[in-house]
Structure 1
Amino acid sequence: MATSPAGIARVLSAPANAVELSEFFAPQRTPSTALPDPQPFLRNLTRGVLEVLAGVREVDQLARWLTEDPYRKLSTRANLATRARSARGVPARRPVHTILSVHASTPADGVVEAVVIVQGPARTRAVAMRLEGIDRRWRATSLALL
């Protein structure tokens, strides 16, 4: 059965409920009651970030936990760290860190802002992050290693 060009154009044009469809398939906000406790996630993500920067973990392994912006920033910082290690001739080694404390607050439903204090062999650092409940799981929408 042949379809005319006008018929194809009508099929390809946006339907009246296009907004409803895009909202259905877009990432969905999740309330705090439908999400797990964020404390283990904060600790695991912090360890993962430190391992990525140390060069013993690929940033792609954290991709499902990060939104696009923190993923790009972490990837860029990991590449710079790799180049710096290469220039100095220092091999990548698994970091030895101790998580001293996790300070978390909930400014809105489905949102957690936290600072994880980490002690390493040379210095103590802080990892600040914002988690949002998206598609029934926590994802980091902002990440900073201080």
Structure 2
Amino acid sequence: MIEPASLLLFALTIVLGTLVLLKRRERLGDALRLAGRQGGRMLIPLCLAVFVGSALARLVPTESIGALIGAESGWRGIAAASLIGAFVPGGPMAAFPIALLVWRMGAGQAQLVTFLAAWSIFAVHRVVSYELPLLGGRFVVVRLCSSWFLPPVAGVLASIWLALT
């Protein structure tokens, strides 16, 4: 079965490709070349990230994920997911296959929301590699002190949402 997101992307591709063809025909080749270059750069990291996620699934016992950040782990699971998410390295092509892996291994939905929020907001590797050197320690302290509570709040709100629906 084809995923709804894939169907949406396919429809957008057809619509936008047709618009470019009708309105700016000379730009269609540029758009296709750019898509090929960007797609080529993404293909290898995406395949590697999916493999890493699959390999981790074979190494990490499923029950340990469920016990640590499963749906029944409550606020402790939300706290653990906040910490784990902050230390997941890499961009979305690494983080999302890992997120899918931990979800399939028993992570609760609210804990997964927390995990992704922590990865998005804190990503220790980005703080060390980019933020500190480019923006300085004072900025990093201000940003982290003003946003440390967001991943747990996202997890709690997700828990409430899930309980009500």
TM-score, with structure 1 as normaliser: 0.29
Q: Which has the higher contact order (CA 8 A, sep 6+)?
A: 1
Report which of the two has the higher share of strand. 1
Report which of the two has the higher share of helix. 2
TM-score, with structure 2 as normaliser: 0.27
